[in-house]
Structure 1
Amino acid sequence: MKLEGEAKLLRIFIGESDRHGGRPLYEAIVLEARKRGLSGASVFKGFMGFGAHSRIHSAKVLQLSEDLPVMVEIVDTEEKIRGFLPVLDGMVREGLVTLEKVEVIRYQSR
């Protein structure tokens, strides 16, 4: 089965060491998104980056970083994504959130 249409892409840029409720923040976000019935979430770990403080975080062997960049992506309807934003307000202390309009082509078995 093939489902198509317009949706919103929510991207959350945080640090690997960020925490919420005693667990990694990225994990807490994914679990909360699942609990609230969002379509799905994926977490990506970066090799290098910098954020608001302009400090480089890198996965180079000679320059070990304990706070690599992490990005959480969630795609769902605009209504569900916007409903999730207040939840993020209570979870993310420092980071960046972006929203984009996307076209979805989803393949799903019957």
Structure 2
Amino acid sequence: MGSTMKLLRIYTDEAAFFGDRRVYQVIAIRAQEAGLAGATVLQALVGFGHTPHVHRHRVLDDDQSVVVEIVDEEDRLRAFAAALSDLPDIGLITLEEVEVLSQARRDEPAP
């Protein structure tokens, strides 16, 4: 019943901009334009990466770590990740295998 797909994770932060849009917004828009199955943007409560700076959730602060998750076929995700090379402040990009247990068809609304 399940199928094997890939999960692409793109790490950035809220303070990263590309023009007048936040980097995570640009990634989500490009994913939709590329016809990928879907994208979810997740905000982290606490995060850190290759720098000693720790991103923490604070009221009226826009410096939280953000992760964009996209599930699709491997070749489509690899091509999409390569097309993001013009965006600044993208940290780690990972790709891993996931098993899709259930998926709403595109022509029917989700329950």
TM-score (norm 2): 0.84
Q: Residues 44 and 64 of structure 2 are in contact (CA less than 8 Å); yes or no, is this contact kept in structure 1?
A: yes
Counterpart CA distance in 1 for 2:31 and 2:38 is: 7
Corresponding residue of 1:90? 86
Task: Say which SS state the counterpart of residue 88 (structure 1) adopts.
Answer: coil
RMSD of aligned Cα (Å): 1.8
- Pairing partner for 2:103 from 85, 94, 107: 107
Aligned-partner Cα distance in 2 for 1:96–1:83? 16
Alpha-carbon deviations, 1:32-53, whole Å to 9, x = none?
Answer: 0000100000000011111211
Confirm or deny: 8 A CA contact 1:11 1:99 kept in the other structure.
yes
Q: Hey, what's the Cα distance between the residues in 1 that align with 2:89 and 2:57?
A: 23
User: How many residues are paired up?
Assistant: 106
Q: Contact 1:57 / 1:65 at 8 angstroms: preserved in 2?
A: no
Tell me the equivalent position of 2:20. 22
1:8 aligned partner: 6
Runs of 4+ that moved beyond 3 A: none
| Aligned-partner Cα distance in 2 for 1:71–1:85 | 14
Alpha-carbon distance, 1:23 to partner: 0.1
AA paired with 2:73?
T
Give the fraction of aligned pairs with identical amino acids, expressed as a percent: 39
Deviation at 1:69, TM superposition (A): 0.4
Moved more, 89-98 or 9-18: 89-98
Match of 2:39 in 1: 41
Which structure has greater strand proportion?
1
Q: 1:36 is matched by which residue type in structure 2? A: A
The answer to whether the Cα contact below 8 Å between 2:10 and 2:90 also exists between their aligned partners in 1 is no
- On the 8 A contact 1:48/1:59 being kept in 2, the answer is yes
Structure 2 regions of 5+ residues with no counterpart? none
